[in-house]
Amino acid sequence: MKGFRYTNKNLFFVRFNEGEDILLSLRKAVADYGIKNAVILSGLGSIVSYHFHVVDSFVNPPREVFPKGEQPCDIVNINGFVIDGRVHAHITISDAKVAFGGHLEEGCKILTFGVVTMAEMADADFTDWDAIKDI
């Protein structure tokens, strides 16, 4: 296990408009604002299409599946990290019956609006935090 206490540098709020791709827009915001390391704290809104991937086996590295479809859903949450400028985000969405989600992929497009909040961790080092190995 690895952990530390840290005071964040900046909070960033990113709003997405109808038709925008969440992952592409997050990547653009990270590049535009020069964010190297951050924690994605929350996200909300609604989408017309989804695309994510989830693990599908017990072995490492795990096999993955990539659910994709068109369906109006609410965004229950978006969270994750920006690791050395790379967005590693997860999304949870729901329809009237079930919540589902996984690792955010290109193709989650906004229905009404979306908002993501990020806390920049300027001096943090999240290198390999999403790697399959002990750190």
pLDDT for the residue 116: 97
Nearest to 102 by CA among 56, 58, 70: 56
Which residue shows structure tokens 């299409």? 49
pLDDT for the residue 134: 59
pLDDT for the residue 4: 65
Task: Give 38-50 pLDDT, tens digit per residue.
Answer: 999 999 999 999 9
131 by DSSP, 3-state: which? coil
Q: Both tokens of residue 123?
A: 């001096």
Query: How far apart (Å, rounded) are the C-alpha atoms in residues 22 and 130?
Result: 20
- Measured CA to CA in angstroms, residue 98 lies from 23, 44, 72 at distances of 23, 16, 13
pLDDT for the residue 122: 76
* DSSP designation for 50: E
pLDDT for the residue 123: 79
The CATH architecture assigned to 10-113 reads 2-Layer Sandwich (3.30)
Task: Give 81-123 pLDDT, tens digit per residue.
Answer: 999 999 999 999 999 999 999 999 999 999 999 999 999 987 7
Total count of residues recorded for the chain: 135
Distance of CA 48 to the CA centre of its chain: 17
| Full-model pTM | 0.88
Task: Evaluate if residue 60 carries a pLDDT over 90.
Answer: no
